[in-house]
A and B are shown apart, each in its own frame.
Chain A
Amino acid sequence: MTTKTYRQALHDTLRAEMLRDDSVFLMGEEIGVFEGSYKITAGLLKEFGEKRVRDTPIAEEGFAGVAIGAAMLGLRPVVEMMTINFSMLALDQIVNHAAKIYGMFGGQASVPLVIRTPGGGGQQLGATHSQNIELFYAFVPGMKVVAPSTPADAKALLLAAIRDNDPVLFLENLALYNTKGEVPDEDVPAEIGRAAITRPGRDLTLIGYSRMAHVAAEVAADLAEAEGLDIEVIDLRSLRPLDRGTVIESVKRTHAAVILEDDWLTYGIGAEVAASISDGAFDSLDAPVRRVAMAEVPLPYSKPLETAALPSREDAITAIRQTLRAVGRRTIPAGVTQP
């Protein structure tokens, strides 16, 4: 184990995969000479040369298409979209081509493409640069979408994404790049489509992914210490395929669930998770599933407004309290119940 940042874990994994497999190469805006807007690719151009680390024009649709073609012919491109907001320019390439080619043409060509891209608000980047639109890709059959929340998962899921034969959208998060954690030294890819129970508990299931998986873990730890609440935390890790089984089995044990998401509420990932719970654990629910999500506004630039619009720890705690109250977990002072 080595303690490193999420950023460093990504960098080291990219480098290791490039060393391991000659077919792995990188493309993206400013990833070479400038070493990447978030410095994930620092030093890689020097080490591997222009053939393996390609700076591209500001033309997302174009280089996404080039990467798809390269993937179809046997290479393993890892494309960096500077932020997930810009990936919308390549939506046609990703949704209509990368996701469809294997199925539409009878399996003649796979598209082993990875699109790495950070989402997330909170950096005062304005409404068009702060979105969480991974849902666009998680919606599309033929795609895989993974969303690591820790440095260890960043490594394990990036290994899995690069070695996977289908197109994978690899969701990073601006607020997570500097977070630190222990990372295994061995190269063991994660299984795409597996959620992780990061904290077992009995009172309530708290579900999140990416940044909100962090928030979930923190809130659960704080409430355990402060109030003795025993909250189970699930980090979804993969949005497509979605690990419905882990979520459902957890809710069957806890009888209540709160979902935290950084995207908008309506039609969001949380809605899908809530529907899965309703499908698989309806008879185990003692209270309605609650979702905590972003305000339904274009994210404001102003810091106070931005903070107010993003889901916070306090919002999560409020939703947890309301849900626990709804299942009768009130703080009952001594002297009330008469056995």
Chain B
Amino acid sequence: MIEIKMPRLSDTMEEGAVSVWRKQPGEVVEVGDVLVEIETDKAVMEYEAYQAGTLAEILVPEGQNAGIGAPIALLDDGSGLAAASPGDQNPAAERSAVTPDAPASAQVAVTTPTAETPAASGNGTTPKVASPLVRKLARENRLDLSQVTGSGPGGRIIRADISGLLAHGATASAPEDIPAAPALATPAPAAPTPEVIATPAPAVTTSSVTDDVRGSRAIPMSQVRRVIARRLSASAREIPHFYVTAVADAEALMELRATLNAQLAEADRAKVSVNDLLIRACALALREHPEVNVSYNGDDSAVMLVHDRVNIGFAVAAKSGLIVPVIRDADTKTATQIGGEAKKLIRLAVERKLTPDQTSGGTFTISNLGMYAVEHFTAIINPPEAAILAVGATAREPVVVGETLVPRYRLRYTLSVDHRVIDGALAAKFLQTLTKLIETPWTIIA
């Protein structure tokens, strides 16, 4: 019997959700067959079998989560043996060298070394299984393998599992992680975080959450939701935010957009939205204030990062949760180019088909809730960026012009700023530039 384990399908993945079982118990599984679809923090992926057999039992039903390396199903490979107990390597090794003991077998002899051994799944007391290469690298780089989840066969820690650790130079002196607070201040692929191996569900959450008084029930959180939760908690906790609000007269902007779209429509070209114009406006304002296009580099760093490229992310409310595709080099693109690119990215976001390239590398984010008639709100910074612009609706308001009240289109927006790298005056100057661009909108498309 072979344990099928939750695979590591991305660098940042810590656990995955079983989305759809493509094989059912009793079905024959060939090497390469798609067994299951796994939802990771960013995408839904097919996971192929790398051993043949018959699917014996599904351990993690659809919709439920499991940590990397946790068994999610049992595959009967005909050995008829129960999975070896953790740490019990030798019996499995004996059994896997099947051919020699079965001279009548007409199968071509291919060694199946201890690879299939259901290995220790690291519960703290059992030693971790790691490849010799990993052991050597761990010795040389003083890595603490107890914090690493193995994604090789049988839970073996392989080089790919420690590439993050190696890149980040983590050392054995890393403190015991507090499971509730994995370090996620930076979105860089975090070192594999402590295991969330499927121990029976933590009593705290299930028993105290579902109660009759509130009529509560527990529903699974998607991976996307969980990543949002973790990253934004880290951002709100660690970044000293401050907020600067400004309002622009959007009369000219609306007029320009109407004229522009009428002509674009005549030419049978796609229209541009207020959002597209705002993306370009922000890009131009960042070009003028490069000190805002920066990143804090951590408490231990003596430097901060100034980004030469202006890559603007925009928040998309996909069904699966918030996602922020990025328009790279937005300062070098025209409004219509930005509009076309944004449309494509939104479609991909909805279909959950954004690639890492399309969601990474941002230097500034815009979150626009204008379409929901929100007057004004504040946003949480998307680290490692240093600022995010929260945009409200463009609405007509009474405005004092001379001595009379006139109805004018007005647009309110609030910049959330990381005070570690940007001060109030700079934030204000940035908004001043942005407001001027919006109020003289031909400078946006010029």
Contacts and interface: CB of A to CB of B under 8 A. Distances in A.
Given A295-B109, A309-B108, A326 B115 contact: yes
B10 A328 contact: no
A328 B355 CA distance: 20
B42 to A, nearest CB: 5
A288 B114 contact: yes
Interface stretch (B131-139, B242-250, B267-275): B131-139
Given A283-B133, A294-B109, A312-B108, A332 B115 contact: no
Contact of B11 (A264, A265, A287, A337): A337
B110 A290 contact: yes
Q: Is the interface of A mostly helix, strand, loop or mixed?
A: loop
Chain A interface residue number, banded: 35 or more
Contacts of B158: 286-287, 326-328
A337 to B, nearest CB: 5
5 contacts: A291-B109, A291-B110, A292-B110, A328-B151, A337-B356
B111 A286 contact: no
Interface string A302-323: 0001001111100100110110
Interface string B14-49: 000000000000000001000000001111011000
Given A265-B99, A286-B159, A290-B113, A336 B42 contact: yes
A294 to B, nearest CB: 7
A296 B100 contact: yes
Q: Is the interface of B mostly helix, strand, loop or mixed?
A: loop
Nearest to B137: A283
Q: Which of A287, A294, A305: most chain B Cβ within 10 A?
A: A287
A264 B42 CA distance: 47
Q: Which of A327, A328, A330, A335: most chain B Cβ within 10 A?
A: A335
A321 B99 CA distance: 20
A293 B41 CA distance: 42
Interface string B105-133: 11111110111000000000000000111
Contacts of B159: 255, 286, 327-328
A303 B10 CA distance: 46
A339 B360 contact: yes
Contact of A289 (B106, B113, B156, B188): B113
A282 B134 CA distance: 11
A104 interface: no
A246 interface: no
B76 interface: no
Contacts of B136: 283-284
A104 to B, nearest CB: 35
A333 interface: yes
A114 B196 CA distance: 64
Q: Which of B135, B153, B359, B360: most chain A Cβ within 10 A?
A: B153
A266 interface: yes
Nearest to A325: B50
Given A326-B153, A335-B353, A287 B115 contact: yes
A334 interface: yes
Contact of A322 (B10, B43, B50, B354): B50
B105 A295 contact: yes
Nearest to A283: B136
A315 B108 contact: yes
A220 B115 CA distance: 23
B103 A296 contact: yes
Contacts of B31: 318, 321-322
Contacts of A285: 131-133
Contacts of A327: 131, 152, 158-160
A183 to B, nearest CB: 33
B103 A297 contact: yes
B440 interface: no
A337 B46 CA distance: 14
B104 A297 contact: yes
A326 B109 contact: no
B195 interface: no
B333 to A, nearest CB: 22
A338 B132 contact: no
Nearest to A289: B113
B132 A284 contact: yes
Contacts of B152: 287, 326-328
